Structure 1
Amino acid sequence: MVLIIHGFPNDISALRFEWAWQHPHSSRRLRHVSKKKSNEKVYDFCLRVLSVMLQVGPWNRLPLTIQWLNEEFARDFPVQERPPMHMPICYGPVISKKLEKGNSISEHSPKSSQVEEQCYLCFTAIEPSKEITCVDPTCSITCHIICMSKHFLSPGQYVPVEGYCPKCFKHYLWGDIIRKFKGCYGNIDLSVQNILCCYEEN
């Protein structure tokens, strides 16, 4: 295995992506992809299909990461079919992390759980299970997840992709906000977590 795509919102979404990648001409979203050429290697064909998949919905709106496990086999995407700007391309092995039971945003918040939090955007009380915070641990913002998602939405979008924290004004991907919400960044040094990642430029 030399490449994986991760960051899907759930297992079903990931399985559907995998199925379409393996059966591109059976997927209604990929019927326009030309069939494998007789002199085309299977590896090259799979990468060609992938480059198209990352350009079409719903996949082009997901907070996906392209991870080359073996940089020796890494290839550049065609200029006209580069992944969307919000999808980082990373190199190196994936290090799994077992989340501790109950590892959530509220437990990593420096504020007391006894104090009722108020949404920074709508100014109403927040239930702990619906409280979301900024990726930056030094930012004290707390919001309803629905309020933050609406703040990140751009005109014509149904799923947030990226935006700015309304308090610290730093730019983040919506996928990173959700990963923090699920506790994925609980023990990560945010200053070094993206060293092996880069974003393709147009």
Structure 2
Amino acid sequence: MTLQSKPIPALYTVYILRSTVRHSSLYIGSTPNPPRRLSQHNGLVKGGAARTSRGSLRPWEMVGLVSGFPSAVAALKFEWALNNPHLTLHIPTESRISVSTQRKRSGHPRRPRHSLISILSNVHLLLRVPSFERWPLTLHFFAPDVFAAWQKHDTKTDGRLRPSLKVVTDFSDKDSVEGAQTEAPGGIHALPLDYEPIKEFVTKGQEVFDSERQGDCVVCKKTLPTGEGLQAICTNTGCEAVGHLSCWSQHMLGGHHTDDVLPLNGICPRCKGEVHWSEMMRELTLRTRGQKEVEKLLKVKKRRATKAKTQKE
């Protein structure tokens, strides 16, 4: 079996769905395209899930989601853990919040019924366990009452989320239930579904490595041979500092022994600006594994360059 390497996806999310007819009816799923997935759950587009197909519960709304997963598999792991908090091995037994009190005919534990509080509590827990706490995740809320419930739980719980975890609110999308687009889309319709937000960064990386001007490693100062090993570039605009991936990692982790193997952020030795590991890895995987994605992202620029060259000739 051959493992296919892909770049880190532009977007992959684990979402919380709520019936607007009966708020106690909830659903957890994962998708790279929240607007399309919501339309499927509401029967506007083919697809969806059997559990959300009852007309008496439609329309559904996405009240919150977690984004920033480095792959579809990573999102599915988080989704399964959130759907099965009574079984997942990602949660230590002593920390488990949801416990099964019933058994199926097969003898296996029956999944406890979801409630908004139980879901939010388990999201909070999963974002703190070693399996997920250092992933570049962002928590989004699209309903004021759900965000208020989150805030209440966050202030009461003993566990604390890492300071760099982003919690974002957007209550502007009034038509998100029906999946309708507005002139100025908000809510789930404002989420970037492609790599456009990092186009400038990707362009910089392409120019530096295509012209072979990476120079010496910004950390260890050794020469960076073209095409040899993994090399990453500073995430700050205007800075072309390049280094070995291992050197960047050691530098961002403080250069000393640590149990952490995944950096979060650090300071670039050259420009002294803050660099973000997740953005660095997104560009690196696009450059090394996503040729088609890069060509699609930069095609406008390439067409303009071709046109300019033709006019000059």
1:13/1:112 Cα in 2 relative to 1: closer, same or farther (>3 Å)?
closer
User: What does residue 65 of structure 1 align with?
Assistant: 138
User: What does residue 87 of structure 1 align with?
Assistant: 165
User: What does residue 223 of structure 2 align with?
Assistant: 124
| Aligned counterparts of 2:203 and 2:252: Cα–Cα separation in 1 | 24
Select the residue among 20, 29, 50 that pairs with 2:90. Answer: 29
Given the alignment of the two structures, is residue 165 of structure 1 paired with residue 243 of structure 2, yes or no?
A: no
1:131/1:105 Cα in 2 relative to 1: closer, same or farther (>3 Å)?
farther
Task: State, as a whole percentage, how many aligned pairs show the same letter.
Answer: 21
| Aligned counterparts of 1:135 and 1:3: Cα–Cα separation in 2 | 28
Unaligned runs of 5+ in 2: 1-61, 101-112, 171-186, 287-292, 299-313
TM-score by length of 1: 0.74
- CA deviations 1:111-160 (Å, max 9, x no partner) are 47333422222322254683322221122211222321221125221111
1:116/1:147 Cα in 2 relative to 1: closer, same or farther (>3 Å)?
same
Q: Is the 8 A contact 2:140 2:168 kept in 1?
A: yes
User: What does residue 149 of structure 1 align with?
Assistant: 249
Select the residue among 149, 154, 177 that pairs with 1:78. Answer: 154
Q: Is the 8 A contact 2:201 2:235 kept in 1?
A: no
User: What does residue 16 of structure 2 align with?
Assistant: none
Aligned-residue offset at 1:72: 4.4
User: What does residue 194 of structure 2 align with?
Assistant: 98
| Aligned counterparts of 1:115 and 1:157: Cα–Cα separation in 2 | 32
Aligned-residue offset at 1:24: 0.6
Question: When you count helix as a share of all residues, which structure comes out higher?
Answer: 2
Q: Is the 8 A contact 2:67 2:139 kept in 1?
A: yes
Given the alignment of the two structures, is residue 48 of structure 1 paired with residue 148 of structure 2, yes or no?
A: no
CA RMSD of aligned residues (A): 3.2
1:171-190 aligned within 5 A: 171-182=274-285
Q: Is the 8 A contact 1:21 1:49 kept in 2?
A: yes
1:9-20 aligned within 5 A: 9-20=70-81
User: What does residue 113 of structure 1 align with?
Assistant: 210
Amino acid at match of 1:85: P
Amino acid at match of 1:84: R
TM-score by length of 2: 0.50
1:171/1:139 Cα in 2 relative to 1: closer, same or farther (>3 Å)?
same
State the number of aligned residues.
183
Q: Is the 8 A contact 1:6 1:66 kept in 2?
A: yes
Point out which structure has higher relative CO (alpha carbons under 8 A, 6+ apart): 1
1:152/1:34 Cα in 2 relative to 1: closer, same or farther (>3 Å)?
same
Given the alignment of the two structures, is residue 5 of structure 1 paired with residue 66 of structure 2, yes or no?
A: yes
Secondary structure of 1:89's counterpart equals strand
Unaligned runs of 5+ in 1: 188-202
| Aligned counterparts of 1:50 and 1:43: Cα–Cα separation in 2 | 11
1:65/1:29 Cα in 2 relative to 1: closer, same or farther (>3 Å)?
same
